Amino acid sequence: MKIAIISDIHANTLALEAVLNQINSLKVDKIFCLGDILMAGYDPNGTAKIILELGNLEIIQGNTDKMVACFSQELLEKAKNKFPCMGYALEDDLKIVDEKYKKFVKNLPENKYIEINGLKIQLVHGSPRKQDENIYPNTPTEEIEKMVENSSANLIFCGHTHLPCGYSLESGKTVVNVGSIGRSMTQDKMPCWAMLEINDNGTFQIEHKTVKYDNKKVSEIIKSRNFKHSDDLAKMYV
Ligand SMILES: [Fe+2]
């Protein structure tokens, strides 16, 4: 069975379409999405519509989905102080995101267990411990062991940092950060996702995949949204 795991789309329809074309050409059986579909991009409604129309999808909520869905003035001010371009993007997003998509992300679970051929998989956004916890390529394995100690899965998929990486831990657990579709922080800024292939006996292989898309165009569109600090957000795409 072939499963594509995607995360952190951040309202980037062009990047999502490029990845879905690639996924379709590889004939996958299922798609898992690890959240952050709406906030701080250019097309939250278009992105959400595509995601909702996907068949064979398992999806969980990301921390920024929660920010859009459970918005408060206090949360907005905090976001503006901590990371200005994200805070102002959120403020602008709230003017355009359709209520039905806010409701959709509000009702998503924070994590999900799925068992296939005896392989127990957990989907999380940040870590099994916390929705906005970071698992980076240089996070010490002892720390990651603590983050996953209460997970009963053999294989854990996460996103959130926008940087792909993977760990085979001493505890026997495998942890894979799939990277980001919509605002990849890799050197080339291209969308990154993971292909999981599960054999009949439960053994598996995982491979990170990437695809090219017009990131310069997306950067220009985001700059033209013209909210405060939109130029800073635009720079993150190129
Ligand atoms: Fe994200």
Give the residue numbers spanning the domain of 77.
2-235
The CA 185 to ligand 1 mean position distance, Å, reads 10
Name the nearest CA neighbour of 19 among 180, 176, 136: 180
Separation of 64 CA from ligand 1 center, angstroms? 7
Instruction: For residue 118, report the distance from its CA to the centre of ligand 1, in Å.
Output: 30
Ligand 1: distance of its center to the CA of 26 in Å? 25
Q: How far is the CA of 161 from the centre of ligand 1 (A)?
A: 7
Q: How far is the CA of 1 from the centre of ligand 1 (A)?
A: 27
- Which pLDDT score is estimated for 11? 98
pTM: 0.97
Write out pLDDT tens, residues 74-84.
999 999 999 99
CA of 39 to the centre of ligand 1 (A): 8
pLDDT at 140: 98
Q: How far is the CA of 201 from the centre of ligand 1 (A)?
A: 34
Alpha carbon of 117 to ligand 1 centroid (Å): 30
- The residues near 122 (Cβ < 8 Å, ≥ 6 apart) are 111, 112, 113, 114, 128, 151, 152, 153, 155, 156, 157
User: What tokens does 24 get?
Assistant: 């379709």
> pLDDT-based confidence at 106, cuts 50/70/90?
very high
CA of 182 to the centre of ligand 1 (A): 8
pLDDT at 186: 98
Question: What's the DSSP call for residue 81?
Answer: H
Percent of the chain with pLDDT over 70: 100
Q: Distance, CA 236 to ligand 1 centroid (Å)?
A: 13
- For residue 36, the CA-to-ligand 1 centroid distance in Å is 5
How far is residue 173's CA from residue 167's CA, in Å, rounded to a whole number? 8
Q: How many domains does the chain have?
A: 1
- Please tell me the least confidently modeled range out of 21-25, 67-71, 118-122, 144-148: 67-71
Q: Kindly list the distances between the CA atom of residue 22 and the CA atoms of 16, 43, 182, 195, 212, in Å, as whole numbers in the listed order.
A: 10, 20, 15, 11, 10
Cα-to-centroid distance, 29 and ligand 1 (Å): 25
**Would you state the pLDDT for residue 105?**
98
Give the CB-side neighbour count of residue 4, counting CA atoms within 13 A: 25
CA 174–ligand 1 middle distance (angstroms)? 21
Label residue 238 by pLDDT band (50, 70, 90): very high
Return mean pLDDT, the chain. 97
* Distance in Å, CA 204 to ligand 1 centroid: 26
CATH number of the domain encompassing residue 160 = 3.60.21.10
